[in-house]
Amino acid sequence: MARNRIGAVLESLQLPIKEAVRVASTLGIEGVQVDAVGDLAPEALSSTGRREFRHRLRSVGLELAALGCPLRHPLYHLERYEARVKHVMQALSLAYDLGAGVVTIFAGTIPNPDDPARTILTDTLERLGSYGERVGATLALAAGAEPPQVLADYLRTFRCGGLGVFVDPASLLMRRMDPSEAVRLFKEQLALLHARDALSERPDRLAEEVPLGHGDVDWMGLLGALEEIDYRGWIVIRRGQTPDPAADIRNAAALLRRLGA
């Protein structure tokens, strides 16, 4: 019996947002993740615009699974620090307004304990996590910049409840990390799973992304790990540059359903 809702990253379709929403509604998915940039930037999207975007999704039977918050620099980078923190806070509020409970972010590699940047990152995440807890959205940090155990242990040091993790199994695999083991390590912190596949590096080839089911990610094992930790959140299909991303997403969604996601 299906346990999770399946979505897709809207940018993977490589289309203008209105057309991307229309195409996404034909792919056998239930929701989308979209980046909070351009017309959907928190600073640019009025209350009316927020209502209109929610209506556009609902009118084609989709929900907002998550909101992406791309950053040019790590959270602890001092240049334009306050503006960056304010932008992430606005993204968390926007996610709630649009009906999503998760904002994904690449916060940067966790600095060593004796690095002053570590204190900056910790204080910043405490601030953002507390804010997310208040507004009803989780800030999900990308796993894989450091060993999953390091990130899991680090997040357990926080008092606030608005922080989590999102896992991209292809990224972990290409860094020679075990996606299923990472999911188990993030049992209490997993807020979102990206569905992406890859071939691992071997002496005769480089690691590379491939369509879901054509790579080395053990999807049965990964879905089993999700079941072990009782994960009932979104699985969001993500695809890089490809000639037919819509077909890849449709096939990926069908495969995940056949496997019992």
Question: pLDDT in tens for each of the 261 residues of the chain?
Answer: 457 999 999 999 999 999 999 999 999 999 999 999 999 999 999 999 999 999 999 999 999 999 999 999 999 999 999 999 999 999 999 999 999 999 999 999 999 999 999 999 999 999 999 999 999 999 999 999 999 999 999 999 999 999 999 999 999 999 999 999 999 999 999 999 999 999 999 999 999 999 999 999 999 999 999 999 999 999 999 999 999 999 999 999 999 999 999
In the chain, the amino acid numbered 86 is K
With beta carbons less than 8 A apart as the criterion, state whether 62 and 30 touch.
yes
Q: Domain locations in the chain? A: 5-258
DSSP classification of residue 39: G
Single pTM value for the model: 0.96
With beta carbons less than 8 A apart as the criterion, state whether 206 and 221 touch.
no
Q: CATH topology for 5-258?
A: TIM Barrel (3.20.20)
With beta carbons less than 8 A apart as the criterion, state whether 172 and 209 touch.
no
- Token pair of 58, please? 């609902």
**Ramachandran angles phi, psi of 108, nearest 5°:** 105, 160
DSSP classification of residue 205: B
pLDDT value for 3: 79
DSSP classification of residue 147: -
At residue 52's C-alpha, the angle toward residues 49 and 57, to 5°, is 130
pLDDT value for 2: 56
